[in-house]
Amino acid sequence: AEEGLLRGRRLLVTAGGTVERIDPVRYLTNDSSGKMGYAIAEEARRMGARVTLVTGRASVPAPAGVEVVRVESALDMREAVLSRMEQQDIIIKAAAVADYRPAEAAQQKIKKKSDEMTLQLVKNPDILAELGERKTTQFIVGFAAETQNVEAYAIEKLKRKRSDLLVANDVTVEGAGFGTDTNLVRIYDAAGLVEALPMLSKQDVAARLLALIAERLPKGE
């Protein structure tokens, strides 16, 4: 039965870490491996969805049978996601998007000069919040990587960004969050906790999350 749960649905998932250029050979990024988002893409495909995977830097191969859109920075990811949002039934934001980027990316390699140097950063747009503002019928799922007060922050984030579901991973727990093959998550909606999953493979977390989403979608034609 699970096989056909998302038949006929279009799903876009973001994965991996964004890369924010400092100069042609240096950048800021984070520890995201892409495993969580790639597992969602693969499971959604298996459940019959037409899948677009918008991916930043990742260390795992893309699953077969999905459209892959490679991006570098948060600004690139924003453009890739917003330009495709209208066609989607479901959008899941598992990427680790940099909150800040260098104020300017130098065209030439920055030379070593004084003993101290300051890198000026400016805020990136919040893609998940923009999706929340612009959504019409799309079902929007955010992720939250928290290290403290996971529940309070998760619910606050879900409401502020107008997401339909929010997946909170406590990234301080061993075996959960960035880089691991497993994850420990709690899934929230605006009313509170929907499900606290045990430690599972990212593949199984993806399957469970997608089943929850499928239950909440308006019935297809």
Judged by the rule CB under 6 A, the positions of this chain that interact with ligand PMT are 32-36, 74, 93-97, 99, 124, 126-128, 142-145, 169, 177-179, 202
Q: Which is nearer to ligand PMT, 23 or 130 (CB)?
A: 130
Q: Which is nearer to ligand PMT, 6 or 36 (CB)?
A: 36
The verdict on whether 149 is a catalytic residue reads no
| Shortest Cβ 117–ligand PMT spacing (Å) | 25
Q: Which is nearer to ligand PMT, 117 or 122 (CB)?
A: 122
Extended beta strands in the chain, E state = 10-15, 20-23, 26-28, 50-55, 67-70, 90-93, 100-102, 121-123, 139-146, 165-170, 182-183, 185-189, 192-196, 200-201
Q: Which residues are annotated as a binding site for CTP?
A: 99, 109, 125-128, 143, 157, 161
Comparing C-alpha atoms, which of 187, 217, 165 is closest to residue 48? 217
Q: What letter does residue 96 receive in the DSSP assignment?
A: B
| Shortest Cβ 169–ligand PMT spacing (Å) | 5
Q: Annotated catalytic residue: which of 30, 124, 169, 183?
A: 30
| Shortest Cβ 180–ligand PMT spacing (Å) | 7
